[in-house]
Amino acid sequence: MTPSSKWSLEARLRRRLLGVILGVGTLTAAIVTFHYGSDVTDLRQRQVLEMAEKLAGEFQGAIQPGVPFDPGAAHKDSIYEKYPEAYGWALSGPDGQALAQSAFDWSGIERRSVAGIDEWTLQAGDDIWLAGKEFDCGGPMACRVETIVASDPAYRFYRMIFAEVAVHVLIPLVPFAVLSIWAVTGFVRQTLRPLREIAEQARSVSEFRDIRPLIVENPPDEVVDLVRALNGSLDRLAAAMERERAFILDASHTLRTPLAALKARLQQDGGHADLAKLRQDTDALIRLSMQLLAHANADRLSVLPGQSIDVSDLIMDIVVRMEPLARQAGVDLGCEGCDTPVRAVADPDALSIAVINLIENAIQHSAEGAPITVALQQGPLSISVIDQGAGIPEGKLAEVTKRFARGSDGRSQGAGLGLSIVEQIMRAHGGRLELRRNAGAGLTATLHFTAAA
């Protein structure tokens, strides 16, 4: 799988929020444009009337009483000369006589004035609009200018629409957009501040002693869930590291004693060392190391949901392998209920270690000639190892499953990890270990499973 490119949550939120604002602005502009563009009649009237009002202002300043009028003295829009067939104007004096006009062909255009109204507009034909504007020209009566728009090659109509959109939408949106960018940037940064605080606190963890709960002031609910999950993980990590630390310390202490004894024996005996005793001590160290390794592996065991095995075959194989050791110790090892297949979700290697540990404990604590029975039961599944040894006092049953705990008879040569390993393996399987004193003599150690496959 190709790794995805890096991305910033803050930048993505900012882009999306600004995109929403831009979308709303664009939609507003489109609505305003549609509104103004749909009212064509009003815009056409405004267009031609604005042209008349502008010319009236220019002519008013150019007409002087008693002075011959010069049309060239008034500043006029260049479109009248550039597009004479599309735009035109005509100027009338106080008595209605024509003073001047553009090159537009007024023939065929019905020009009507409206008495008592100083400005007016009317439609003279398809897409032909007229406008008139009266203005003071220094006499008792007003002068009048008329403008006409027959077509729109200069696109003044569309520029008017754009101007309306610019005035009513774009210009108001500029400060709004600037404010929005500032507000969105600050809002996103402030919203993500708890995440930055969490990151800073997490980066400060470099050693075991640095592990402490994450603290965020007044976080949002989503960050509260994240902080709780991280704090839970940190607590579990701290507990696991503390267990590892304690285990290493206990293991080093446990190994130190037999190694020191072996070294002392070699120094004392020199070249006359008892090889049988040395082999016995070496075997004890090997067994101790294997127990320590099994304990570490059991603490990390994870049973997969689809890991189904036949428990009866597994138990029979273990009994066959352990039978020579039992015969050497003078005990009788047997199995009950192993002739019927029993399937269960379990890790075969880990379950083998658990059962072997229970059988080894039973062999070590059983008297010569005593029977040891491995009993397999269904509904729900359980595996019991029953011995006739000295057993464990009732008050000690809860203590022997702790690490480096040994039975009270002092016959164990291990590290006191066997039952602790078994309990961890069962915990990984969702089950439990039960120790129960027998009515007569000995102990029954049972592995209880919650469900069988």
Q: Which residue has the tokens 């409206």?
A: 114
Q: Which three-class secondary structure state does DSSP give residue 149? A: strand
Q: Which residue has the tokens 């006092």?
A: 393
Determine the angle formed by the axes of helices 275-299 and 221-269, rounding to 10 degrees. Answer: 180
Q: Which three-class secondary structure state does DSSP give residue 338? A: coil
The number of beta carbons lying within 10 Å of the beta carbon of residue 201 is 18
Q: Residue 206: what pLDDT?
A: 65
Q: Distance between CA 400 and CA 169 in Å, rounded? A: 82
Which parts of 144-214 fold into alpha helices (H)? 156-165, 171-191, 193-203
Q: Pairing between strand 343-345 and 308-310?
A: antiparallel
Tell me if 157 sits within 8 A of 47, measured CB to CB: yes
Alpha-carbon torsion angle 401, 402, 408, 414, nearest 10 = 90
Any idea how long the chain is?
453
The edge-to-edge listing of strands for the beta sheet with 371-377 is: 332-336, 371-377, 382-386, 443-448, 432-437
Q: What is the DSSP string of 87-148?
A: EEEEEE-TTS-EEEE-SS--TT------TT-SEEEEEEETTEEEEEEEE--SSSS-EEEEEE
Q: Residue 447: what pLDDT?
A: 92
Q: Residue 410: what pLDDT?
A: 45
Q: Residue 247: what pLDDT?
A: 67
Give 35's Cβ-side CA count (13 Å radius): 10
Class of domain 40-154: alpha beta
Q: What is the DSSP string of 273-315?
A: --HHHHHHHHHHHHHHHHHHHHHHHHHT----TT-EEEHHHHH
Q: Residue 335: what pLDDT?
A: 92
- Give tens-digit pLDDT for 253-285: 556 656 766 676 677 666 666 677 677 667 666
Class of domain 302-448: alpha beta
Tell me if 323 sits within 8 A of 333, measured CB to CB: yes
Residues of the chain with pLDDT under 50: 1, 404-405, 408, 410-411, 413-415, 452-453
The 3-class secondary structure across 405-444, one letter per residue, is CCCCCCCCCCCCCHHHHHHHHHHHCCCEEEEEECCCCCEE
Q: Residue 43: what pLDDT?
A: 81
Computed over every residue of the chain, the mean pLDDT equals 78
Q: Residue 312: what pLDDT?
A: 92
Q: Residue 416: what pLDDT?
A: 55
Q: Residue 260: what pLDDT?
A: 64
